[in-house]
């Protein structure tokens, strides 16, 4: 059984000098593998075209915590050490990949007239801004296989009035069945989909509440009460 290899952040000068001496066009290293995640969300229970708010949603390009804006598959170890798996990567920086998965999940929920990514030229009534707080395989427990953690902050606002209608955090974890890359990726996919399903539900609840006339009137003072 091949053990997973990882690399901790360190200066690369020695590697560069070594490459200069041995030649840059020959390497015995294994080819780098690219791993992807799939969104597995389905329509929300009871969702239909008639129940969907007649508005479009745009998902902004997510921000991220330091160290996560990369295509490296990140890991954390004891003593606050952060690194990444060698020979393996995502097809895009993690925030970009999470944006695409969020768009797919929100569309599949059936709760919106349309869901667009950050690059869409079309207008949308609501903007969902995400921040990727955690997206790593965690080895700090000392177990042989890691536990994957995914944490996202969300802010939902109206694009026309620039007011915030909802803020929320979603989090999910999934243990890898073994310390092998395939099992680690499966854990990433499981945790990501659980977190995005919760995100989709919270965003839809906030949008429906913001558009509910009864909810909006409930916070307005009754004019007769001041007489």
Number of CB atoms found within 10 A of residue 52's CB: 18
- What is residue 41's predicted lDDT score, i.e. its pLDDT? 73
Entry pTM: 0.81
Per-residue pLDDT band for 51 (boundaries 50, 70, 90) equals low
Fold for the domain defined by 41-212: Rossmann fold (3.40.50)
- What is residue 90's predicted lDDT score, i.e. its pLDDT? 98
Number of CB atoms found within 10 A of residue 96's CB: 18
Is the pLDDT score of 158 beyond 70?
Answer: yes
Ranking 51-60, 87-96, 212-221 by mean pLDDT, the lowest is 212-221
Per-residue pLDDT band for 16 (boundaries 50, 70, 90) equals very low
Is the pLDDT score of 181 beyond 90?
Answer: yes
Using CA atoms of 196, 117, 207, 98 in order, give the dihedral in degrees to the nearest 10.
20
Three-class DSSP category at 220: coil
Task: Judge residue 22's burial from the number of C-beta atoms within 10 Å of its C-beta, 0-12 exposed, 13-18 middle, 19 or more buried.
Answer: exposed
Distance, CA of 54 to CA of 117 (rounded, Å) = 18
């Amino acid at each position: 059984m091949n053990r997973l290899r990882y690399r901790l952040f360190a200066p690369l000068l020695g590697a560069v000098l070594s490459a200069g001496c041995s030649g840059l066009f020959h390497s015995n290293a294994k080819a780098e593998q690219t791993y992807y995640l799939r969104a597995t969300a389905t329509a929300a229970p009871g969702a239909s075209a008639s129940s969907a708010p007649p508005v479009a949603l745009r998902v902004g390009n997510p921000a991220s915590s330091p160290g996560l804006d990369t295509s490296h598959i990140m890991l954390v170890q004891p003593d606050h050490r952060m690194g990444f798996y060698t020979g393996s990567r995502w097809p895009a920086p993690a925030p970009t990949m999470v944006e695409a998965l969020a768009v797919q999940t929100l569309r599949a929920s059936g709760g919106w007239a349309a869901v667009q990514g950050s690059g869409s030229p079309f207008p949308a009534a609501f903007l969902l801004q995400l921040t990727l707080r955690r997206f790593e395989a965690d080895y700090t427990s000392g177990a042989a296989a890691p536990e994957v953690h995914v944490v996202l902050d969300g802010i939902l606002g109206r694009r026309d009035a620039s007011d915030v209608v909802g803020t929320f955090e979603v989090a999910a974890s999934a243990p890898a069945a073994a310390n092998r890359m395939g099992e680690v990726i499966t854990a990433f996919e499981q945790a990501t989909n659980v977190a995005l399903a919760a995100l989709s539900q919270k965003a839809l609840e906030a949008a429906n509440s913001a558009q509910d006339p009864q909810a909006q009137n409930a916070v307005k003072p009754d004019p007769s009460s001041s007489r």
